[in-house]
Amino acid sequence: MAERVFCIDFGSGFTKVALRPDPGATTRLVNDRDIESTDFCLPSVVVVDRSGPKPVVECGKKAAGRTASNGIEVHANWKKWLFLTPAADDPAANPLETFLRSDDLARLATQHGVSAGQLGHLRQLVGSARELLAGFGVHPASRDTQKQQFAASIAAHYFSWLRQEVLRECDRLPYAGLRYDGIPVRVTAPAFAHGANVTTHPGCKLLTAALAKAGWPLHPERPVVSEPYANAVGVLTKGENHLKKDKFDLGATFGKGPLVTTLKDPDHHAPYRAVVIDVGAFTTDFAVLTMNPGGPGESDPDRAFAVQQHSIAFGMSHLDDRVVAAIPAEKAAWVRAAPASELDAFRNAVYTEDKPHRTNTVGKIGAGDDTQPIKDCLTRFAADLGNEVKQFLATLGSKGMAELVLTGGGMNVPALRDAVLAAATANGHEYAKVHGPGVKKPAGGKPVDKLDPRFTRGGSALGGAGLYFEPAYI
């Protein structure tokens, strides 16, 4: 049982933390001071400075402004490493042996006067060592395994820093007498880790182990929930939690939306569905929540919905990769080496505002000869995203009452938002209400909810901390 809880929505680009301070209290985003500056979005960037006698780790906004150099490692978008499926351990997967067999090493050997025979002996020595280790049942880790292990290590550092930031911010909140350091935490994970065994998924186990190592007490019953499911709950409830006779009140919590209309008149409006599409940096997440026949009654609201969910490793970072491959080499090099904060500004200018981004070294990106290649990348990415939406919704029925929820940083890009909206409304799919940033109500169209950044980017944290996922209050 947890009367109050933190929820960490650990994202590839930014991490958001929400707090439910009491069972029936409205959940709030920690560090939510200015909605325009989105202070609650904490960069998921880790810098390891090895230039001194001991490595120094730096996280968050300061790290997001750092540039990699000799002795300075900048790690952004490292969440994907936690959820890798490591390849089989083979010689080609080991980076040391790959380097030892490479032409680059042969050139370096010649440059520094190392004979071909000496290089051959070195390669033979390493090969013999591998065979000897194999005889004892020891297998050197593959490249993917090494990335995963490294990500687990920096995750512990990141969550330790995050805990300090959150507790410091909580000291400013108006909830006197709460011991914030004892409040348990729940974390969200991509939907390819969903289901009954979510906490046993290797990536989730690494996440929860890193949180525990960093000092976060894990939620005793439900330490992990899927990102799209939590996102749906966060947006549709707006972070509200209501009790009725000390039990979760689903109708009051979900407010006056289409869900409540369906509950009051199921003969005419059922089934109710909520369709959630979230475009992030690492993944695009999908979820459909369909009210089970008969509604929730007095049962667990988590069992009142049939939930379909899916995550694909296809997000804004993949659009960046396409753009890097399409623009001139010097500008591509700038994008690859840009600090995380500068890369975020680049995306906002070029993708969202359709304006060039000015740099101090390579001029404007998104102007001149690279304008059309970037537009082509955005168009193709939007089309591919639309196809993924259609594929996921192919089996969705068109009867009943449905809501469409569009969230994630990618939904701030008009071309992507329009493509997703068009795909979600294809094949006869209609929605009683659409939620999303920048959506506009067409003439005579259905109601819209113009989500602000708290819900566009913080919905998963708000929903994950909600009473909805608290079994003790059902």
The residue segments making up the domain with residue 283 are 229-315+386-473
Residues 260 and 334 in one domain: no
Task: For residue range 450-470, list pLDDT tens digits in order.
Answer: 888 999 999 999 999 999 998
Give the model's pLDDT for residue 89. 47
In a domain, 152, yes or no: yes
Residues 325 and 468 in one domain: no
In a domain, 425, yes or no: yes
27: domain CATH number?
3.30.420
Torsions phi, psi of 70, nearest 5? -60, 115
Residues 293 and 438 in one domain: yes
Give the model's pLDDT for residue 157. 96
Grade residue 95 by pLDDT with cuts at 50, 70 and 90. low
What is the largest distance, in Å, between two alpha-carbon atoms of the chain? Answer: 85
Task: For residue range 143-154, list pLDDT tens digits in order.
Answer: 778 888 899 999
Task: For residue range 334-354, list pLDDT tens digits in order.
Answer: 999 999 999 999 999 999 999
Residue after which a domain boundary falls, among 359, 382, 405: 382
In a domain, 251, yes or no: yes
Residues 283 and 409 in one domain: yes
Is residue 146 exposed (0-12), middle (13-18) or buried (19+ Cβ within 10 Å)? middle
Residues 161 and 173 in one domain: yes
* Amino acid symbol at 35: I
Residues 96 and 189 in one domain: no
Give the model's pLDDT for residue 262. 65
459: domain CATH number?
3.30.420.40
Residues 246 and 330 in one domain: no
Residue after which a domain boundary falls, among 218, 252, 275: 218
Number of H helices, E strands in the chain: 18, 19
Residues 309 and 264 in one domain: yes
Residues 13 and 114 in one domain: no
Residues 6+ apart with CB under 8 A from 231: 276, 278, 285, 287, 405, 407, 459, 460, 463
User: 151, 155, 163, 170: which is closest to 215 by C-alpha?
Assistant: 163
With a pLDDT cut of 90, the percent of the chain lying above it is 48
The three-class DSSP label of residue 89 is coil
Residue after which a domain boundary falls, among 140, 171, 204: 140
**Lowest-pLDDT range of 177-181, 210-214, 445-449:** 445-449
Task: For residue range 173-204, list pLDDT tens digits in order.
Answer: 877 778 999 999 999 998 876 555 566 678 88
- Tell me the C-alpha distance between 410 and 178, whole Å: 36
Give the model's pLDDT for residue 193. 62
Give the model's pLDDT for residue 355. 94
- Taking 70 as the threshold, does the pLDDT of residue 267 lie above it? no
Residues 290 and 400 in one domain: yes
Residues 301 and 320 in one domain: no
In a domain, 78, yes or no: no
In a domain, 129, yes or no: yes
In a domain, 73, yes or no: no
Number of domains in the chain: 4
Residues 336 and 377 in one domain: yes
